[in-house]
Amino acid sequence: MGRLEGKTALVTGASRGIGRAIALELAREGAKVAINYASSEAKAQEVADEVTKLGSTAMIVQANVGVAQEARAMVARVAEEFAHLDILVNNAGITRDGMLTRMTDEQFMEVVQTNLGGCFFCTSAAIPIMTRQSFGRIINISSMNGQVAAIGQANYSASKGGIIAFTRTAAMELSHSGITVNSIAPGFTDTDMFAAVPGPIQAQIKAKIPLGRYAHPEEIAKAVIFLAADGDYVTGQQINVNGGAFM
Ligand SMILES: NC(=O)c1ccc[n+]([C@@H]2O[C@H](COP(=O)([O-])OP(=O)(O)OC[C@H]3O[C@@H](n4cnc5c(N)ncnc54)[C@H](OP(=O)(O)O)[C@@H]3O)[C@@H](O)[C@H]2O)c1
C-alpha cells in the first residue's frame, strides 16, 4: 500500500518534465492525481494513462494558471471531482529569457504572472478547501535561479525568488489550519525547459555542478513525496535539489 493512499493531488504543469514525474510518483504512492496542462492535451492524457496503469485514478484539466479565473475554476473542479483536495503542487512555469536591456514589459509580466501569479491563484483557491478539511500539503516549485543571479533571467529569477518568499508567509499564515507550505528549488533538470538553453551554455553550467550532471525529473519528484508523505513537521522551508550547484 502506498504512503498516499486515500489522498488526492493536483499538479500544475504535469503534461511534461518535472510535473509529469511528480504526478507519476504521487500515483505510485497511491494518490489520485489531477494533471493540469496549458496546451499539450495529448501529453497530459499520456500521463493520465500511465497513472491508471500504476493502479491509481487520474483526471486531466486544462487551465492557464496565469489567468486567475481559470486557475481558481480548475482547483474547484478538481476538489469537486475528487471530493477533497489534499496536495497541491504548484509546478507550472515558463521562461522568456533576455538581457534586461532588451527585456520587454510583456516578457517580464508573462513570466511573473504565470510562475508567481499562478502559484498565488491556485493556493488561494485551495486554502478554503484545505482549511475545511484541516489538512493540506502545498508544495511550490521554485528554482535555484530564485536564489542566485542568472544572466538573462531577471523575470524568471524574480518570479522564483517571489515563490520562496510567498511560501514562508503562506506557511506562517496557515500554520493553525493543518496546512503546510514548502518549496523545492531544483537545480538544472533534464526537461524541455532546460533543453532550450543553448548547448555551449549548458556545457558551462554542467562544468560547475559538483555532482557533475543535471537532475533527473524523478529526483525532484522524490522531494515532493517526502513533503507530501513524511513532512508533517516541515513548513515554511525550502529543499534544494541541485547537485550542490548552490551551497
Ligand atoms: N528544468 C529545469 O532546469 C528547472 C530548474 C529549476 C526549476 N524548474 C521549474 O520546474 C517547473 C517545471 O519545469 P520543467 O522543466 O518541467 O518545464 P517544462 O518541461 O517546460 O514543462 C512545463 C510544464 O508547465 C506547463 N505550463 C506552462 N505554462 C503553463 C500555464 N500558463 N498554465 C498551466 N500549465 C503551464 C506545461 O504545459 P503544456 O505542456 O501544456 O505546455 C508543461 O506541463 C517550472 O516551474 C520550472 O520553473 C525547472
CATH of the domain at 50: 3.40.50.720
Position 212 in a domain = yes
Cβ–ligand 1 contact at 114 (below 6 Å): yes
Pairing of strands 87-90, 238-241: unpaired
Structurally, the chain folds into a number of domains equal to 1
What is the end-to-end Cα distance of the chain in Å, rounded? 36
Position 167 in a domain = yes
Give the residue whose CA is nearest to atom 46 of ligand 1: 93
Nearest of 196, 241, 198 to residue 16 by alpha carbon:
196
pLDDT in the model for residue 49: 98
Position 246 in a domain = no
pLDDT in the model for residue 206: 94
pLDDT in the model for residue 1: 81
User: Is 214 designated active site?
Assistant: no
Ligand 1 atom with minimal separation from the 17 CA: 16
Position 93 in a domain = yes
Cβ–ligand 1 contact at 13 (below 6 Å): yes
Distance (angstroms) between ligand 1 centre and the Cα of 238 equals 19
The residue range of the domain holding 89 is: 8-241
Position 1 in a domain = no
Position 50 in a domain = yes
pLDDT in the model for residue 140: 99
Q: Cell numbers at residue 170, please?
A: 503562506
In the predicted model, residues of the chain with pLDDT beneath 50 are none
Distance (angstroms) between ligand 1 centre and the Cα of 21 equals 12
Q: Residues with Cβ < 8 Å from 208, sequence gap 6 or more?
A: 245
Position 210 in a domain = yes
Position 143 in a domain = yes
The answer to whether the CB of 80 falls within 8 A of the CB of 2 is no
Distance (angstroms) between ligand 1 centre and the Cα of 243 equals 20
Which pTM was predicted? 0.98
Cβ–ligand 1 contact at 147 (below 6 Å): no
